């Protein structure tokens, strides 16, 4: 265990890791996970390079914030994610947005009575299409519009939503076609127009219309 402590000391100590931009060595992440400072353990809990066995231990941490970060980490083992899916609605909502959550648990959370849980199921790129298209499922437009795997026809319908926030999310969605974005770039709401213009520019699309100033 000497190397991790030497490495930490050379990089300013555990408290300096929040601003460290490089890859933290796996051995160091294991040490951070045992630190008495909650904020330091949080760094290990949110890092996707943290070993599964370490994340499994952090999944039982006494601090809610640490466990919440483990629930959101796509590197967390499936059995740990399933445990969170059976927890209260706060953890259910967090884990519902985790792309590594097993499909059978996504199906279970899709019928949750809590809107925030269903929101993140709708936003999860691994949620099965049959759930997203279910007429009996109280889907969340806000969640669907941010889903990078939402079927194109559904996204096209969402681009006509009465909610400006939903239309803005559509404009930010990588699935949106150039045609959708050009139409949204002429939207009545500045937040929608700006998001559409930004997406078009990032794609290098020619002759982008600038949002008009009121």
Residue 12: per-residue pLDDT: 66
What residues does each domain of the chain span? Answer: 1-75, 77-136, 140-214
Q: pLDDT higher for 99 or 140?
A: 99
Give the whole-angstrom CA distance, residue 27 versus residue 155: 43
Closest by CA to 187, choosing from 170, 207, 205, is 170
Q: pLDDT higher for 49 or 213?
A: 49
- Average pLDDT score over residue span 175-189: 96
Provide long-range contacts, Cβ within 8 A and 24+ apart, for 170-175.
170/145, 171/195, 171/196, 171/198, 171/199, 172/146, 172/199, 173/145, 173/146, 173/147, 173/148, 174/148, 175/148, 175/149, 175/150
Give the whole-angstrom CA distance, residue 39 versus residue 45: 10
Q: What is the pLDDT of residues 7-33, one digit of tens each?
A: 665 666 666 666 665 677 788 888 889
Residue whose token pair is 């402590």: 5
Q: Which of the residue ranges 21-35, 101-115, 165-179 would you say has the lowest mean pLDDT?
A: 21-35
Q: Determine how many CB atoms are found less than 10 A away from the CB of residue 132.
A: 20
């Amino acid at each position: 265990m000497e190397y991790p402590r030497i490495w930490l000391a050379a990089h300013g100590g555990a408290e300096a890791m929040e601003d460290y931009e490089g890859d933290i060595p796996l051995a160091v992440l294991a040490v951070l996970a045992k630190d008495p400072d909650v904020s330091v353990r949080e760094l290990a809990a949110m890092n996707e390079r943290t070993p599964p066995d370490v994340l499994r231990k952090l999944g039982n941490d006494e601090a809610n914030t640490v466990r919440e970060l483990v629930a959101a980490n796509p590197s967390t083992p499936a059995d740990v994610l399933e445990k969170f899916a059976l927890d209260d609605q706060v953890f259910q909502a967090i884990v519902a947005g985790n792309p590594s959550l097993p499909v059978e648990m996504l199906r279970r959370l899709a019928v949750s009575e809590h809107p925030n849980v269903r929101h993140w199921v709708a936003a999860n790129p691994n949620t099965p299409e049959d759930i997203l298209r279910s007429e009996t499922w109280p889907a969340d437009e806000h969640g669907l519009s941010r889903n990078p795997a939402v079927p194109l026809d559904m996204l096209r319908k969402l681009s006509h939503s009465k909610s400006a926030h939903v239309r803005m999310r559509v404009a930010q969605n990588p699935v949106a076609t150039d045609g959708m974005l050009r139409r949204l770039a002429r939207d009545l709401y500045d937040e929608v127009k700006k998001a559409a213009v930004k997406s078009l520019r990032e794609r290098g699309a020619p002759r982008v219309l600038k949002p008009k100033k009121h």
